[in-house]
Amino acid sequence: MTTAIRSEVALELSAATIGYGGVPAVRDLDLSVRSGEILALLGPNGAGKTTTMLAAVGAIPLLSGSVTALGAPVVEQVERNARRGITLVPDNRGVFHSLSVADNLRVAQRKSGSDAGFVLEYFPKLKGMLRQRCGSLSGGEQQMLALAKAMLPEPRVLLIDELSMGLSPIAVQNILPRLRAVADEQQMAIVLVEQHIDLALSIADSGIVLHHGRAALTGSADRLRRDRDAVESAYFGVEAS
């Protein structure tokens, strides 16, 4: 049963060219993530990672090519795509600093109708912080709250932009294995933009290195982990000799 679910392609970009004002920022990108899998989207500043994530949730249009999620085209309507189970955790995290942890969860819960219990199982530290104001949480704790909120509607495709923004490697190390558990147990497809390449590849199934808007390297996470030279060359745009 699990194998059948795993084989479903949850998100697919085909020959996607995406840009702003008609100028491409991402060119001819192919990307595919199955339910229960994690794709690490890597690349230096300006490579096109956020642009790709925005197109995947329908926040910006494609110049050419296609984006399909959960068996249907992704239209340019973020709310509608969210209702279909395609959710982006933005790099600013989208938490309300003046509200308590519990109230932040309540807001998301009201929208989704889901019980917060299941998300707190993935981030048990938040259980002891429910009455604390979000603004007093550490960056890592805020990120856990952002992820918990995004998971409440039980999305099938979760896109996480710059998980580690402002976080210590230890905080990232603490959060990433939980995402692996979420993908495995909830059969969520996850696309993870992450600057800590090794940490991201340690929990991912596959990876793409973007450089100047193009896929410079694509492969299984195992292969990319073993071939760090190729990853670094792709990352820095060095031609393979």
Q: Give the residue with the Cβ less far from ligand ATP, 25 or 119.
A: 25
Count of CB atoms situated within 10 Å of the CB of 56: 26
Q: Give the residue with the Cβ less far from ligand ATP, 6 or 214.
A: 214
Q: Give the residue with the Cβ less far from ligand ATP, 48 or 58.
A: 48
Give the Cα separation of 140 and 37 in Å (integer). 23
Q: Give the residue with the Cβ less far from ligand ATP, 149 or 211.
A: 211
Contact between 12 and 62 under an 8 Å Cβ cutoff? The reply is no
Contact between 213 and 25 under an 8 Å Cβ cutoff? The reply is yes
Report how many residues bind ligand ATP under the rule CB under 6 A: 10
- Residue 155 interacts with ligand ATP (CB under 6 A): yes or no: no
Contact between 15 and 68 under an 8 Å Cβ cutoff? The reply is no
Give the Cα separation of 116 and 124 in Å (integer). 11
Helix (H, G, I), strand (E, B) or coil at 67: strand
From the list 7, 15, 20, 228, which residue makes contact with ligand ATP (rule: CB under 6 A)?
20
Segment near ligand ATP (CB under 6 A), from 48-56, 125-133, 201-209, 229-237? 48-56
From the list 27, 34, 42, 43, which residue makes contact with ligand ATP (rule: CB under 6 A)?
43
Contact between 153 and 116 under an 8 Å Cβ cutoff? The reply is no
From the list 30, 46, 64, 238, which residue makes contact with ligand ATP (rule: CB under 6 A)?
46
* DSSP 8-state symbol, 223: H
Segment near ligand ATP (CB under 6 A), from 2-10, 43-51, 152-160, 164-172? 43-51
Contact between 211 and 42 under an 8 Å Cβ cutoff? The reply is no
User: CB 139 → ligand ATP: shortest distance, Å?
Assistant: 17
Q: Give the residue with the Cβ less far from ligand ATP, 49 or 84.
A: 49
Q: Give the residue with the Cβ less far from ligand ATP, 55 or 188.
A: 55
- By CB under 6 A, the residues from 21 to 40 that bind ligand ATP are 25
From the list 48, 58, 155, 207, which residue makes contact with ligand ATP (rule: CB under 6 A)?
48
Give the Cα separation of 10 and 1 in Å (integer). 16
Amino acid sitting at position 69: A
Q: Give the residue with the Cβ less far from ligand ATP, 47 or 191.
A: 47
Q: What does each C-alpha distance from 171 to 144, 176, 200 come to in angstroms?
A: 10, 9, 13
In the complex, the residues that contact ligand ATP under the rule CB under 6 A are: 20, 25, 43, 45-51
